[in-house]
Amino acid sequence: MTDNQGMSLDQLELLKKMKAIASDLWGGPDGSLPAEEENEAEPSAAPEAPKAAGKERKNYRNLWKTADETIDWTDALAHPTPTDQLTGQRLWSFFHKHAAKVLAGDLGAYTEVLKASNPLGELTDFAEGINIRAVSPDRLESSFVCLEDHMGKDRKTYLAAMGIRIARDLLACLPVSEVTVTGEYDGKPVFTATYPRKQMLHRNFNFVDPVAFSEECGADFG
């Protein structure tokens, strides 16, 4: 049996399931780290409608397996139009304008890029707040305030999942060598790990245990 648009019931059911999976992986409002002033970057996608009261927190159990596409700053410097088939012209023009300073390790340029690209915007459903700081040309620091819902017996997985995903997204955004991530709860640090770029290369994160990998990177779970 088909509906009035020619799709079978099985096809409709598959479409609904695919939409649900996509929503779980990529949903959630952007803007945890809004720029203090307007910039030249392409605006983020419109946020979803506010979540209904009492809605369960999103599942973090696959969070470390995905990450943003890496910005090729050498390409951005050399080409005024996008070469990756993913970035819009307006955002690419912003990258092109700032590429020389980024490649030179200018911390002011790092800050502008972080504001414009909002690399951790997809993680706002998994923390009460997220901050990023450029401390040197080779290092970024990020801290997040843990959600009480996720601080139970499986807290290590949550903390490690957040740590890896934050590090992967920031390493994809800027040409730094390492990212230090701190998780805070009740005003105290409960997780700290420094993720070196070289240790994350050539790893298939679909098959990585987030806790074990974070411990490889010297994680302290408080």
How many Cα atoms are found within 13 Å in the side-chain-facing hemisphere of 38?
Answer: 1
Confidence of residue 102 (pLDDT cuts 50, 70, 90): very high
pLDDT digits (tens, 9 = 90+) for 120-164: 999 989 999 999 999 999 999 999 999 999 999 999 999 999 999
Cα–chain-centroid distance for residue 84? 19
Report the distance separating Cα 163 and Cα 191, nearest Å: 9
DSSP alpha helices (H): ranges in the chain?
9-26, 73-78, 89-103, 107-117, 155-173, 197-200, 210-216
pLDDT digits (tens, 9 = 90+) for 77-101: 999 999 988 889 999 999 999 999 9
65 pLDDT more than 80: yes
Q: Tokens representing 222?
A: 């408080």
Confidence of residue 59 (pLDDT cuts 50, 70, 90): confident
Pick the range with the lowest mean pLDDT from 8-17, 187-196, 212-221.
8-17
Q: Tokens representing 192?
A: 């700290």
Confidence of residue 57 (pLDDT cuts 50, 70, 90): low
The model's pTM: 0.74
Report the distance separating Cα 28 and Cα 47, nearest Å: 7
